[in-house]
A and B are shown apart, each in its own frame.
Chain A
Amino acid sequence: MKLITHNILMCNKKGCTTNNFPLKLVATNWKDLDTENAQQYNPALLQRLCEKIEWNALRQTVSTLNWGVNLPEQLSAELVQDEAFLQDLHLLLVKRQIVEGQMVCPNCERVYEIKNGIPNMLLREDEV
């Protein structure tokens, strides 16, 4: 799972409708895809994704991961045109994969496990 996906996932448990984003992310194992295996760097795509990202949630999440990544406070219009910035974002959002870990809902504390890179968001019938 990549951070872009984490940035759009909310808790979907029945009745959990407020304060259910962003899920608290614990990454116990992660890797960077090599260039051959990752989607190509594409500034137009990253700019599109920038329109969608909840920047504060991304910053907050990255700061808890201890990856030594420091994101700027604001996502400004100039930054989105900046090649170096987009390259970094490509590394962070497209190449880096969380392989094992979990996500915890800040509201109801439901735990969603991540295994083999796949987040398990499947609810039990009584949670729907």
Chain B
Amino acid sequence: MNHRPEQLAPADVFYNEEEAKKYTMNSRMIEIQQEITERALEILAIPKHSPRLLLDIGCGSGISGQVLSEYDHCWVGLDISKAMLNVAADRDVDGDVIHADMGHGFGFRPGTFDGAVSISALQWLCSAEMKCQNPYKRLNKFFSSLYACLIKGARCAFQFYPSSPEQVEMITNSAMKNGFTGGLIVDYPNSQKAKKYYLFLMAGYSEEIMNEARQVIMPRAKTGDTDSEDDSDDDENDSDDDEKVDIKGRQKSKMIKKKEKYGASVKKFNNSNAKSKDKNWIMKKKDRQRKQGKSVCRDSKYSGRKRPMGFN
């Protein structure tokens, strides 16, 4: 009944040009990927104004990465689909994208990345790309080389679509076996549609990172269905309140956004397969940055126009 793409074809076949285009044209899809990425960042709990070097696994066309950029992080993404990566490259995403298979492990220098995200990709590791591949081996290779390329105590947030409880177990077992601690966070467990699984992992223990994260927020699952502001929980706090990631505040704005969406207007902000970031995209990005309280260049009729190349 439900058609799980990872059971239909290998990822590099499934994510062809046709499919890649969806990730630039379908504004609803883009919005969902962005929201998930924001949640993943919340789980990483990086203090404000502390740009980091992050890894985006299964980065696709760079939608998740663009959110990381908006929070000023530097990122490197990898993906097995050349078609998806070409879209990322054509849109000049800020991060670098690499053509690689996460099931092969990574060739990154050890102890490099401050954290990792993966948005809607991990489930692909559970089904073999080719007959000769063994999903268990691929998962192990993935987690062991992931552990190696992270700094000690680095946090990871991997949103994925498990097809069964066994699959969740298979993934978490492999992560634990390779030295990670952490667990599963299930957001909106009571909603068929909104329910999302996040694998939250830590690569060993670092006092410093733990303290930072404590100051931001401890990860926990979101419970309420989207239109109740139930848990007015222990905001034990006073002075440094606005240094925290304010889940409730953000929730609310998402709620409003959703209502607006389902009401009258479905905002289309992206309908181009143009060669560079198109004007609408830049406006949208500026909008999002303004919302984050950043200073942003004034919009002008020149915004988004291609400029002559800089110095050599």
Contact = CB atoms under 8 A, between A and B. Distances in A.
Contacts of A36: 277, 282, 303-304, 307
A112 to B, nearest CB: 9
A9 B55 CA distance: 13
B107 A10 contact: yes
Interface string B103-141: 011111100101000000000000000101100000001
Interface string A24-63: 0000000111111111101011001100101000000000
A122 B105 CA distance: 10
Contact of A42 (B72, B104, B132, B282): B72
A16 B295 CA distance: 47
Contacts of B92: 33, 37
Contacts of A34: 307-310
Contacts of A32: 309-312
Looking at chain B's contact residues, the main secondary structure is loop
A38 B96 CA distance: 11
A1 B108 CA distance: 14
Contacts of B308: 34
Contacts of B52: 48
Contact of A128 (B74, B76, B104, B112): B104
B185 interface: no
Contact of B98 (A20, A33, A119): A119
Counting chain A CB atoms within 10 Å of each CB, which of B99, B105, B303, B307 scores highest? B99
Nearest to B129: A125
B51 interface: yes
Contacts, number: 110
Given A4-B74, A54-B109, A122-B80, A48 B99 contact: no
B51 A48 contact: yes
B100 interface: yes
Contacts of B74: 4, 39, 45, 48-49, 94
A12 B104 contact: yes
Kindly list the 7 A-B residue pairs having the minimum CB-CB distance in the complex, ordered from nearest. A12-B107, A45-B51, A39-B94, A5-B96, A32-B310, A121-B100, A120-B99
A38 B112 CA distance: 23
Contacts of A122: 80, 99-101, 104
A94 B96 CA distance: 10
16 contacts: A7-B109, A8-B76, A8-B112, A9-B98, A32-B309, A32-B311, A34-B307, A34-B309, A40-B72, A45-B51, A45-B72, A48-B53, A48-B114, A116-B86, A121-B100, A125-B133
B53 A49 contact: yes
